[in-house]
Structures are given as C-alpha cells and as structure tokens.
Amino acid sequence: MKKRIAIFASGSGSNAQKIMEHFKRNPEAEVVLILTNNPQAYVLQRADNFEIPSHIFTRHEFYETDDVIRLLKNLQVDLIVLAGFLWLVPESLLKAFPNKIINLHPALLPKFGGKGMYGDHVHQAVLDAKEEESGITIHFAGEQFDEGEIIHQSRFKIELDDNLEIIKFKGQQLEHHHFPRVIESLLKKMKS
C-alpha cells in the first residue's frame, strides 16, 4: 500500500508543488491532501492543477477542535509535511502523529529560528548577521517553532555581493532539490 502524505502550506506553495511533482508517479507514496489556513493561498491552485484535494481550515478549527486530526486519520495519512506553514502545530496534532510531522526551515537551525522567523525575515536576519553561509534545515515538528530533532541540513556559501533575493534563490534551490528526497527516504524507513 502506498504511503500517504498530507502537506500544510500557508502561501504560494512552491515546495508543495515540488513534492507533488516528485510523488506524482511514485509507486510507493502519494500526496493525498493539501491543507491551508489561508483561503487566498496560491497552494490551493497548485493542488487543483495536480487534482489533489485541499482543505481550508480556520484558527478555531485547528486549535479548538479535532476536525483536522479526524480528517488526517480518515485519510490514513502516514506523514505530515509543513511546507511554508506559518502556524504553530497544536499539541493534540503532535500527539496524534508522533514523529510523523516534519518542517522545512530556510536557515541552518538552531540559528535564525523561532516565532516570526520565516521567509524573507530569516534571509534578512542572515544578511544582517553577516553570515558566511546559510542553508536549509528539515526537522521534526515540536511544541516550539523550529526546535524539533534535525533530519537534514544543506548549506550554501554567501558571497560578499549577495542580496536578499540571491540568498532566497540559493535557499529555494536547496529546498526544491532536497525536501522531496528527504521525505521519500523518511517514508522508506517507516514501518508499513
């Protein structure tokens, strides 16, 4: 039986798209649902393009009810992927899917993590700190932002004349290359 992936995203969903592309014809795993807290998120269009169902939820539904957990359980989801999802995962969801929720962070944790550290905020902080390198971190989700066990890190060098857009581009290249492959290797390690 194919492993089943659900992806949470809050915005454009470029990583969600790379994951959907990667698993489109995969005999061992498939993306079965895209979830978002943002009714205007472009990731909904991307899901539609791949004919993958999507679910929009409210803050109340996510934090005060078990609706999202029930939906994921009914779909027999094996792995939850946070791909640009900006809300903290509630404890109830972490308990329902222990060590089955992973997140991508656009920097080398433990540096530049925590509340408010996402997207351009992270890249700007890296630039402001005059770091010589940055990269991506894929980690298990925990009760705090960006604090779960690290699964994978990849790095790139920051050149003297790199600006925000170049750093963002270099990071996205790593994200799009590594995230689907790390997901695939994690799924292979999971017991059926």
Active site residues: 105
Q: Are strands 29-36 and 101-105 parallel, antiparallel or unpaired?
A: unpaired
The rounded distance, in Å, linking the Cα atoms of 96 and 72 is 10
* Type of residue numbered 133: E
Answer yes or no: are the C-beta atoms of 112 and 122 closer than 8 Å. yes
**Nearest CA to 83 among 181, 186, 182, 179?**
179
Answer yes or no: are the C-beta atoms of 83 and 16 closer than 8 Å. yes
**Largest alpha-carbon pair distance within the chain?**
51
For the chain, the first-to-last Cα distance in angstroms comes to 8
